[in-house]
Amino acid sequence: MKRKIAAVLITVSFIAFLLIGLSDFPPYGTADSAVYNEVTARYLEKSIEETGAVNAVAGMILDYRAFDTFIEASVIFTALVLVLMMLQKNDKANGGDGNDHAHH
C-alpha cells in the first residue's frame, strides 16, 4: 500500500513537472514553432534536387540522416542475435559446434 501511494505521488509530481516545462512551448498545431528553421527548409526544398526522393521523409532518413538508419538496422540485428541466443533450444538448427554443457 505504501508503495502504491509512493508510486502515485512520484508519477503525479513527474507529470506536473513535465507539464510545467510544456507551458513554454507554442500551442499545438501552430506554425511559429522553432522546428521550421533552415534545416526543415532545406529538407523540403532540396530533397528532390539532392536526394532525388519525392518523399521527403525517405530522403531524410536514407540520405541526410542515413547514419541513424544504418545504426537502426544494427539495432534490429542485435535484437535478432540476442533473441536467437536466448530462445534457441540447443543445437538443433545451429549446426551445434560441439560439447554443450547441457544445463538447463
Binders of other proteins among residues 9 to 68 (CB under 8 A) are 10-12, 14-15, 17-25, 27-31, 33-45, 47-48, 51-68
Shortest CB 69 distance to other proteins, Å: 7
Q: How far is CA 82 from CA 79, 85, 88, 92, in A?
A: 5, 5, 10, 17
Taking CB under 8 A as the rule, does residue 93 contact other proteins?
yes
Taking CB under 8 A as the rule, does residue 8 contact other proteins?
yes
Taking CB under 8 A as the rule, does residue 1 contact other proteins?
no
C-alpha–C-alpha distance, residues 41 and 57, integer Å: 13
Three cell numbers written together for 16: 506536473
Taking CB under 8 A as the rule, does residue 5 contact other proteins?
no
Counting residues that bind other proteins (by CB under 8 A) gives 91
Taking CB under 8 A as the rule, does residue 2 contact other proteins?
no
C-alpha–C-alpha distance, residues 104 and 92, integer Å: 15
